Amino acid sequence: MKYERAQEILASPETIEVLYNGTPVWIEHLNPGNQTAHISSDVLPESERDVPVNELVEG
């Protein structure tokens, strides 16, 4: 996913599906300096982590 799209999803009032390694996640906030997203999930072993935005996929 491009960083600009992640910004749009984060700002959207709608719920937009985002996947990280095939797992649904929520984007909590973005770091423009290193192009990462702080994500959370009920499914991942670590419930919160920072990942490169380009590893996220819109569902």
The model's pLDDT over 21-50, given as tens digits with 9 standing for 90+, comes to 999 999 999 999 999 999 999 888 888 999
pLDDT value of residue 44: 81
Q: How far is CA 42 from the centre of its chain?
A: 14
pLDDT value of residue 18: 98
Task: Give the residue numbers spanning the domain of 54.
Answer: 3-58
Q: How far is the C-alpha of 16 from the C-alpha of 39, rounded, in Å?
A: 14
pLDDT value of residue 45: 81
pLDDT value of residue 43: 87
Contact of 11 with 46, CB cutoff 8 Å? no
Domains identified in the chain, total number: 1
